[in-house]
């Protein structure tokens, strides 16, 4: 009798959740449960903090005071976001030299020239600062920490977020045991049932829609079925999604760009709008989902390592954007998953195709479950299991006003401007590093770019520009004249890169040249 009663309530809950989610409605149970859990975490954090303070009170005391003073000047919503981004707050060291070097390289303001006798002193001082910044990066850099799950300020009763077990008291231990039983025996079974129902509906609807001829009815039916299926999927993770500024949402055509945290970013955004996807072709279950979605509408999947695929993608994207009847394209320009504490370098491809971009900022609340996918350590199945056994997924989505590329702005500058707006809206750190550093080493192109920035810094702040050799001056002039006539073919691009290498070699030669006065006289003649 008890077993039948349990089954009845189980199936009833599953059916009610599916019906409500398919209609875009909510009973309010998830929201109430989240509030209750947050109160429990705050209570448990009091005991956790008292234990942790014994070990690191002297280390973190000054940092907490500084953070509190800075938070007084911020709006209340920004304070909440900063406190959630604990990986940016808990630092091993203060990276003063790194910040100073970054400010020097990024500052474009023209300043008064330093007298001649201080040029060498400036170079020596900067060299020491570069060495210090390098040591700071070895201890703790601002890039690799973005490829790991953030550390929470307070424990959320998940063993995966507590690296070392510390016994606090029997009350917290009992609460953790009850939470484990709730997540793995009650919530997990309900979520798996909802997930498989959504998956079956997705397969059936996309297959049937694929047989319908292209037209207005097919687009309408695809939109309704996608919204229904994605909302059901979101309930399988107990997702709470808050959409802001919906008047800025892309309706048809165009390109939407967003910061990237995990594959479920697509599911989160598709609960409110339909998109044409573009991304790397995957294998396994994720590849199966890509093929399933492609049956009902146009999506673009490619191999990032194939040059032919890249050219075909650009052509197909251009055709897609020019067709007002097609869905807006959703792109994650970072090209990889970041732990939602920062926004890294955007690839310029999508910003070359469209002059108008619809930015979207996404910020997850990691207190009840971390949505970040560390693809280097986890498979997609393992990631889904981790998310389903978490408490809930909470996400805020902001639709930013459309941004148009300026006439005097290239694709790289446009992408940086869009990225900055997304970072500011989501309370994220704006970084200029390439997200592909997760898998590759720093390229020579990036190293040479920083060399050029430092040389420009020396030109602005010292008198080193007066001592350039004739060879460097002639090459610089010829390069400036030839830049305006360079075409986009590969031959001219190779010639331009060679000229840049010659300039860099000449610059290194000028720094080691001991006959500066003689060169100055020759240059004046």
Per-residue pLDDT of the chain (525 residues; tens, 9 = 90+): 677 776 766 777 778 888 888 787 777 888 888 888 888 877 776 755 554 444 344 434 444 444 344 444 444 443 343 334 444 445 555 666 677 777 777 665 555 555 554 667 777 777 888 888 778 777 777 787 788 877 676 666 776 655 455 556 777 778 888 888 888 988 898 999 999 999 999 999 999 999 998 888 999 999 999 999 999 999 999 899 999 999 999 877 789 999 999 989 999 999 999 999 887 888 888 888 888 988 888 888 877 666 566 777 888 888 888 888 888 999 999 988 898 889 998 988 888 887 789 999 999 988 888 889 888 788 888 888 999 998 999 999 999 999 999 888 888 999 999 999 999 999 998 888 888 777 777 778 878 887 887 777 777 666 665 555 444 444 444 444 444 444 444 444 444 444 444 444 444 454 445 455 545 444 444
Torsion angles phi and psi, residue 256, rounded to 5: -105, 135
The predicted pLDDT at position 110 comes to: 52
List the beta bridge partners of residue 256.
330, 358
Of the candidates 269, 284, 267, 273, which has an alpha carbon nearest to the alpha carbon of residue 251?
273
Of the candidates 261, 250, 258, 252, which has an alpha carbon nearest to the alpha carbon of residue 278?
258
Q: Is 469 left (phi over 0), alpha (psi -120 to 50) or beta?
A: beta
Domain residue ranges in the chain: 170-433, 444-524
**Tokens at 237, concatenated:** 């993770």
Q: How far apart are CA 141 and CA 135, in angstroms?
A: 9
The predicted pLDDT at position 324 comes to: 81
Residues 6+ apart with CB under 8 A from 33: 238, 392
- Report angle CA 354, 357, 363 to the nearest 5 degrees: 145
CB 341 within 8 A of CB 429: yes
CB 123 within 8 A of CB 467: no
Which of the 8 DSSP states describes residue 419? Answer: H
Long-range CB contact pairs, 380-384, < 8 A, 24+: 380/263, 380/282, 380/284, 380/285, 380/286, 381/284, 381/285, 383/262, 383/263
The predicted pLDDT at position 474 comes to: 47
* 155 HSE (CA, 13 A, CB side): 26
């Amino acid at each position: 009798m008890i077993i039948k009663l349990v089954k009845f309530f189980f199936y009833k809950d599953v059916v009610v959740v599916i019906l409500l989610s398919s209609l875009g409605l909510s009973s309010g149970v998830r929201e109430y449960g989240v509030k209750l859990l947050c109160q429990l975490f705050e209570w448990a954090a009091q005991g956790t903090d008292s234990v942790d303070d014994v070990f690191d009170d002297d280390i973190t005391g000054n940092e907490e005071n500084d953070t509190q003073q800075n938070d007084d000047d911020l709006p209340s919503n920004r304070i909440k976001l900063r406190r959630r981004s604990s990986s940016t707050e808990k630092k091993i060291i203060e990276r003063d030299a790194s910040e100073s070097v970054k400010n020097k390289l990024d500052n474009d303001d023209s300043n008064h020239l330093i007298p001649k006798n201080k040029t060498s002193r400036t170079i020596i001082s900067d060299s020491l600062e570069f060495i210090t910044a390098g040591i700071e990066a070895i201890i703790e850099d601002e890039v690799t920490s973005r490829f790991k799950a953030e550390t929470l300020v307070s424990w959320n009763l998940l063993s995966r977020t507590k690296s070392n077990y510390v016994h606090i008291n029997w009350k917290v231990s009992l609460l953790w045991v009850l939470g484990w039983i709730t997540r793995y025996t009650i919530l997990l079974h309900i979520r798996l049932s909802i997930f498989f129902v959504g998956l079956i509906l997705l397969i059936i609807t996309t297959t049937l829609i694929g047989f319908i001829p292209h037209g207005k009815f097919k687009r309408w039916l695809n939109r309704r079925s996608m919204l229904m299926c994605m909302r059901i999927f979101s309930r399988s993770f107990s997702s709470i999604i808050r959409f802001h500024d919906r008047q800025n949402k892309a309706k048809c055509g165009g390109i939407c760009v967003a910061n990237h945290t995990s594959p479920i970013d697509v599911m989160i955004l598709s609960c409110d709008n339909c998109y044409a996807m573009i991304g790397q072709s995957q294998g396994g279950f994720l590849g199966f989902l890509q093929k399933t979605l492609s049956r009902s509408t146009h999506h673009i999947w490619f191999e990032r390592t194939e040059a032919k695929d890249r050219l075909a993608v650009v052509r197909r994207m251009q055709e897609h954007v020019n067709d007002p009847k097609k869905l807006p394209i959703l792109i994650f320009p970072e090209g990889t998953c970041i732990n939602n504490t920062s926004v890294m370098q955007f690839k310029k491809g999508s910003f070359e195709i469209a002059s108008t971009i619809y930015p979207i900022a996404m910020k997850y609340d990691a207190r009840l479950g971390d949505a970040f996918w560390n693809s280097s350590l986890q498979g997609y199945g393992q990631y889904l299991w981790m998310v389903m056994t978490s408490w809930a997924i909470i996400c805020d989505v902001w639709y930013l006003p459309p941004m148009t590329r300026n006439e005097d702005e290239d694709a790289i500058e446009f992408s940086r401007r869009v990225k900055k707006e997304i970072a500011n809206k989501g309370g994220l750190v704006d970084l200029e590093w390439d997200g592909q550093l997760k898998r590759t080493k720093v390229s020579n192109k990036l190293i040479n770019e920083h060399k050029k920035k430092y040389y420009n810094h020396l030109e602005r702040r010292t008198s080193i520009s007066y001592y350039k050799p004739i060879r460097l001056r002639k090459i610089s002039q010829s390069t400036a004249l030839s830049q305006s006539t360079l075409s986009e073919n590969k031959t001219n691009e190779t010639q331009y890169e060679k000229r840049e290498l010659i300039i860099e070699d000449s610059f290194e030669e000028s720094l080691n040249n001991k006959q500066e006065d003689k060169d100055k006289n020759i240059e004046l003649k």
